[in-house]
């Protein structure tokens, strides 16, 4: 049972610390500085905000 505890708590620590490390990395690299730009980063000139990109075959989106 000790081995199980060690493994589970070790992994939980690894998961938690990886998340904290990623958070620190994100803040340092300015990922949290402009939320609007972040939300719009998946759009571009050709598929801009406001343009739907899916419809049933033969239908208008």
Partner 1 sequence: MSTLAVPPEAPAPDLAADYATRVQIDRSCRQTVLGYYASAVAWLLIGSLAALITSVKMHHPEFLGNYEWITFGRIRPVHLNTVVYGWSSMVGIGTTLWLEARLCKVRLPHRTILPATVIIWNAGVVWGVYEVLAGHSTGVEWLEFPPQVLGIFGFVLLVLFWVSLKMFNERRVRHTYVSQWYLFGSVVWFPILYSAAILLPTTGMVGGAAWATTNWWYAHNVLGLYVTPMGLATIYYLIPKVTGKPIYSYHLSLLGFWANALFYSWIGTHHLVGGPLPAWIITLGIVGSIMMFVPVTTVAINHHMTMIGKFHMLKTSPTLRFVVFGAVSYTAVSYQGSLEALRSVSHVAHFTHYTIAHAHLGMYSFYTMTMFGAMYYIVPRLTRNEWSSVPLIKIHFWTTSLGVLAYFCALSWAGWYEGEMMNNPLIPFIKIVDYTKPYLVSRSISGSFMTIGHIAFAILVFRILRSSDVSMIGPTLFTSKRGTMRWRRKEA
Cα–Cα distance for residue pair 17/27, rounded to 1 Å: 15
Cα–Cα distance for residue pair 14/24, rounded to 1 Å: 15
The upper half-sphere exposure of residue 53, i.e. CA atoms within 13 Å in the direction of its Cβ, equals: 8
To partner 1, the closest distance from the beta carbon of 18 in angstroms equals 6
To partner 1, the closest distance from the beta carbon of 32 in angstroms equals 7
To partner 1, the closest distance from the beta carbon of 25 in angstroms equals 9
Contact residues for partner 1, defined by CB under 8 A: 1, 3-4, 7-8, 10-12, 14-16, 18-19, 22-23, 26, 29, 31-32, 34-61
């Amino acid at each position: 049972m000790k081995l199980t505890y060690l493994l589970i708590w070790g992994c939980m620590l690894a998961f938690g610390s990886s998340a904290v490390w990623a958070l620190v990395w994100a803040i340092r690299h300015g990922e949290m500085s402009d939320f609007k730009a972040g939300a719009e980063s998946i759009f571009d000139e050709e598929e801009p905000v406001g343009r739907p990109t899916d419809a049933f075959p033969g239908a208008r989106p």
